[in-house]
Amino acid sequence: MVKNSEINLSAIARDLKKAASDAVVIGVGQGADGPVLLENPLTAKSAEALAESLKVLGITGAADQAVRLPGLPEAGNGVVVLAGVGKVSAGQKLTREALRRAAGSAVRQLAGLTTVTLAFPTADVGDVAAVAEGAALGAYSFTEYRSSKDGLKDPVRNAVIFTDLAGDKDLEPALKRAALLGKAVNATRSLVNEPPSHLYPESFADAAKELAKGLPVKVTVWDEKRLEKEGFGGIMGVGKGSSRQPRLVKVEYAPAKATRKIALVGKGITFDTGGISIKPALGMGDMKSDMAGAAVVLNTVLTLAGLGLPVKATAWLCIAENMPSGAASRPADVLTMFGGKTVEVLNTDAEGRLVMADGIVAASQEYPDAIIDVATLTGAQLIALGNRTAGVMGADSVTGPLKAAADRAGELVWPMPLPEELRPSLDSQVADLANIGERHGGMMTAAVFLREFVGKGKDGQPIPWAHIDIAGPSFNNGAPYGYTPKQGTGCTVRTLVAYAEDLLAGA
């Protein structure tokens, strides 16, 4: 089901002519006094002439600007591309995220070419890795359901990074990591972009098995009969209104030398009508993306396995389709969740927290060092933090490292509190708690609900837990930017991989 174009990444240190490519990309920054041509492999004479022509050519150095010019003899190709990196200051090196975005934007806009050479300034292997990562993220398209490919451009297939560090012993593993991250993010994007006619609980479970082939992971699938028998009342309660019955998928990577153990729980609502509490028709089509959290945790675990990191990582994909029918849950129904707690369903459109509760209880029973759940959970997240910044809530011991990992990965997250006064608003007259509470601060209220299902560790203390709400940043309805395409973005995979790496480094 998931067909990705994967880019080949390599590096060269010297003569550009030896690396046959269709274009060489050079960076331009926005300086205080106008555009600034960044360090590049051109001759001094060519670079000086080009720098003096920037203003005349209308080149500003703004992020996402990519201007094609006729090639130069020393570049060994037909096109020179001047790519904007945004604001620059004298004496300050570019941030890795600026490099990542500039490379990704250039590769995205150069679709239709086969091979591109990226000649951005790189001071260390981390900088080269950022350029490579950006290239891998920018080389993406989703054209599976086009009857004709006329007018469509294939993504760039090869990215050659020009850097003096081409011979560094640490570069090969850095390029491998960049390629694996690109593959994982793009697989996440493709799952999100799949139409709900083709991606539903059973086919999502099949896709997980397909993506896991060749990796040292174990995939276990609960069908509706097993879910019913074992008491997964949240997943069954949400999914029973659809003719396409729910699934729970466990993807386990358990290397023998694992030193840490994490559980990742993902919301996998393959389409969300709102159920009986039906949503407005306007924009409902975007609800094909309501399974992004499950796609994120799946591809995170597969990436950790591909990297061979010594961490036990388990993804729990809580998959259902939320439809209205004669069999659907009603407002005022009471569901018995996995583990025994009861929930009064006051709004069937607050369904994500119900499937996630089952997954969090299941994850808790294996006593991980930390549980992180990822979900397109609330519209309130967009109100609070906008379209590009995810909210992270939970134990400080997890949210702090997650924020640091996101910063390193170049993704936007912001820690939010869990005020204790929100908990009473979830009280129910007939059950242990209700599935909705205080409307204001709804992102945090939803997280308070999820916290009720986090279990205790072997020491008797609550398992360290964090919730990441990606309702806004998981799906881009605007124009493409940087390495981010329209529709599915694949956000949070890179943050979770960086979190696992940091956890191991700390251990």
Residues with a known catalytic role: 279, 353
**What torsion, rounded to 10 degrees, do the Cα atoms 153, 155, 157, 160 define?**
110
- Do residues 196 and 151 both lie within one domain? no
- Do residues 127 and 230 both lie within one domain? no
- Do residues 278 and 317 both lie within one domain? yes
- Do residues 150 and 187 both lie within one domain? no
Are 211 and 332 a contacting pair, CB within 8 Å? no
- Do residues 287 and 377 both lie within one domain? yes
Question: Does residue 437 lie within any of the structural domains?
Answer: yes
**pTM passes above 0.75:** yes
- Do residues 198 and 309 both lie within one domain? yes
- Do residues 262 and 410 both lie within one domain? yes
Are 313 and 264 a contacting pair, CB within 8 Å? yes
Between vectors from CA 232 to CA 226 and to CA 236, what angle results, nearest 5°?
85
Question: Does residue 429 lie within any of the structural domains?
Answer: yes
Pick from 485, 417, 444, 450: nearest CA to 139: 485
Q: Which of 129, 163, 197 is the last residue of a domain?
A: 163
Could you tell me whether strands 311-322 and 247-253 are parallel, antiparallel, or unpaired per DSSP bridges? antiparallel
- Do residues 151 and 260 both lie within one domain? no
The residue range of the domain holding 283 is 183-506
Question: Does residue 172 lie within any of the structural domains?
Answer: no
* Tokens (6 digits) for 257: 């030398």
- Do residues 152 and 188 both lie within one domain? no
d(CA 386, CA 14): 44
Q: Is 351 helix (H, G, I), strand (E, B) or coil?
A: coil
- Do residues 109 and 205 both lie within one domain? no
- Do residues 64 and 30 both lie within one domain? yes
Q: What is the CATH number of the domain that holds 80?
A: 3.40.220.10
- Do residues 363 and 479 both lie within one domain? yes
Question: Does residue 176 lie within any of the structural domains?
Answer: no
The count of structural domains within the chain is 2
Are 392 and 414 a contacting pair, CB within 8 Å? yes
With a CB cutoff of 8 Å and minimum separation 6, the contacts of 394 are 418, 447, 451, 464, 465, 466, 467
Tens-digit pLDDT profile for the chain (507 aa)? 777 778 999 999 877 777 789 999 999 999 999 999 999 998 899 999 999 999 999 999 999 999 999 877 777 667 999 999 999 998 889 999 999 999 999 999 999 999 999 999 999 999 999 999 999 999 999 999 999 888 899 999 999 999 999 999 999 999 999 999 999 999 999 999 999 999 999 999 999 999 999 999 999 999 999 999 999 999 999 999 999 999 999 999 999 999 999 999 999 999 999 999 999 999 999 999 999 999 999 999 999 999 999 999 999 999 999 999 999 999 999 999 999 999 999 999 999 999 999 999 999 999 999 999 999 999 999 999 999 999 999 999 999 999 999 999 999 999 999 999 999 999 999 999 999 999 999 999 999 999 999 999 999 999 999 999 999 999 999 999 999 999 999 999 999 999 999 999 986
Helices (H), 386-492: 396-409, 442-451
Q: What is the CATH number of the domain that holds 477?
A: 3.40.630.10
Question: Does residue 169 lie within any of the structural domains?
Answer: no
Q: Is the dihedral of CA 100, 105, 108, 110 positive or negative?
A: negative
d(CA 19, CA 10): 10
d(CA 338, CA 355): 10
Question: Does residue 3 lie within any of the structural domains?
Answer: no
Q: Which of 109, 129, 163 is the last residue of a domain?
A: 163
With a CB cutoff of 8 Å and minimum separation 6, the contacts of 281 are none
